[in-house]
């Protein structure tokens, strides 16, 4: 009779394989995130020398999603309101974002990227896209699309 699960049979091998898969995923994500943080710092400085790495992500979000409330941005990034207010204040002081009254609620304001912020951001983003094209030149377009799809799926599930 074949043993399963905790008894050390096929189920344990399946569990061991799953553990190995998750350990591999954890290791690769750690390397990826370390490189992404360094890259975000470089890109932020290219947008403006005084820009913090985390602020680059705010510009990405505002460019993609349009004007938003600071509380919605804080929720999206999983940070506190005070942290978001500080980061937005820096972006505002640098002329990269601006606040305007929310037409749906006069007590609130919407944060949007300014024309200068958009121009600086797009210049850096387009240069970065060129680097991705060069680094992934040997990849099949289907592999690139699959990687993007899987990362999107991972990020959507992380939001919930």
**The model scores a pTM over 0.85:** no
Mean pLDDT of the chain: 87
Residue from 115, 91, 111 nearest 101 by CA: 111
Which CATH number goes with the domain that contains 86? Answer: 1.10.10.10
Tokens coding 121: 């951001």
CA 151/CA 25 separation, integer angstroms: 12
Q: Are 110 and 66 in contact (CB under 8 A)?
A: no
Structural domains counted in the chain: 1
The pLDDT value given to residue 93: 96
Would you say residue 3 lies in a domain?
Answer: no
Residue 68's domain comprises 48-135
The answer to whether residue 152 sits within a structural domain is no
Q: Is 97 inside a domain boundary?
A: yes
- 157 domain residue, yes or no: no
Q: Say what percent of the chain tops pLDDT 70.
A: 90
Burial-class residue 137 by CB neighbours within 10 Å (0-12, 13-18, 19+): exposed
- Write down the pLDDT at residue 23: 93
Are 98 and 92 a contacting pair, CB within 8 Å? yes
pLDDT at residue 11 above 60?
no
pLDDT tens profile 127-157: 988 988 999 999 999 999 999 999 999 988 8
In a domain, 39, yes or no: no
pLDDT at 1 over 50: no
In the chain, the largest separation of any two C-alpha atoms, in whole Å, equals: 72
Of residues 114 and 5, more confidently modeled: 114
* The predicted structure's pLDDT at residue 118: 96
Tokens 């680059």 appear where? 56
Q: Is residue 145 part of a domain?
A: no
* pLDDT of res. 52: 87
Reply yes or no on whether the pLDDT at 7 is more than 50.
no
pLDDT tens by residue, 62-99: 999 999 999 999 999 889 999 999 999 999 999 999 99
Judge whether 40 and 57 are in contact, CB under 8 Å. yes
Instruction: Give CA–CA dist 114/94, Å, rounded.
Output: 10
């Amino acid at each position: 009779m074949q043993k399963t699960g905790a008894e050390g049979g096929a189920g344990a091998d399946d569990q061991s394989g799953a553990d190995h898969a998750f350990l591999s995923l954890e290791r690769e994500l750690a390397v990826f995130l370390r490189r992404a943080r360094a890259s975000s710092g470089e890109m932020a400085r290219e947008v403006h020398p005084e820009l913090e790495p985390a602020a680059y992500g705010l510009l990405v979000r505002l460019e993609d999603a349009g004007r938003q409330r600071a509380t919605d941005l804080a929720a999206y990034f999983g940070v506190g309101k005070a942290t978001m207010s500080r980061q937005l204040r820096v972006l505002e002081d640098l002329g990269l974002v601006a606040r305007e009254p929310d037409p749906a609620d006069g007590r609130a304001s919407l944060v949007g990227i300014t024309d200068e912020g958009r121009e600086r951001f797009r210049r850096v983003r387009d240069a970065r896209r060129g680097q991705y094209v060069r680094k992934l030149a040997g990849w099949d377009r289907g592999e690139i699309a699959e990687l993007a799809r899987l990362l999107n799926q991972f990020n959507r599930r992380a939001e919930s």
